[in-house]
Amino acid sequence: MFVGEQPGNDEDLRGLPFVGPAGRVLDRAIADAGLDRVLIFVTNAVKHFKFEQRGKRRLHKRPNAYEVDRCRWWLDQERAIVDPDIVVALGATAARGVLGRTVTISEVRGKIIAGDNGSRVLVTIHPSYLLRIKEDADRANAYRAFVKDLRVCAEALR
């Protein structure tokens, strides 16, 4: 199970998670890590698209802790139904939703840690971060590190 932050504009309009640019990066990284996207349930920690209207554009606004905590019951229900072997939290907001507490990404990134009831959780970056990196070489390095994190998940599932 992969958990993102919240729907983006494309996801909100289509009603599906990770169908926009970040979703394309995620799909590629999943394949590069040796995981099967068809076997992965993908959802978000926050179920609504929080945005700021600027002209015709809806610009992403990060959900606050209250919104993450209020949506946690829904995420917990999804986890109970899916019963995943590993939950991959994509970014700090997803990590808070999955773990129920704030974590520092750099401290837990790419490691399997214990979640609720003995569940296994892997925390990594959100793929949208990669889209914001300007320099090609920096973006390529960050992408390789992201795939390396997902390979930890793939190895743990074997």
Give percent above pLDDT 90 in the chain.
Answer: 73
Its pTM stands at 0.91
Number of domains in the chain: 1
Beta carbons of 39 and 85 less than 8 angstroms apart: no
Q: Confidence class of residue 118 from pLDDT cuts 50, 70 and 90?
A: confident
Spatial distance between the Cα atoms of 116 and 51, rounded to a whole number of angstroms: 30
Q: Residue 150: phi, psi to the nearest 5?
A: -70, -30
pLDDT, tens digit, 9 for 90 and up, residues 40-89: 999 999 987 765 877 887 676 788 888 888 889 999 999 999 999 999 99
What's the average model confidence in pLDDT over 17-28? 94
Query: Cβ-count burial of 101 within 10 angstroms (0-12 exposed, 13-18 middle, 19+ buried)?
Result: exposed
Using alpha carbons only, how large is the chain's radius of gyration in Å?
15
Q: Residue 86: give the domain boundaries.
A: 2-156
- CATH label of the domain that carries residue 122: 3.40.470.10
Nearest to 26 by CA among 154, 147, 158, 151: 147
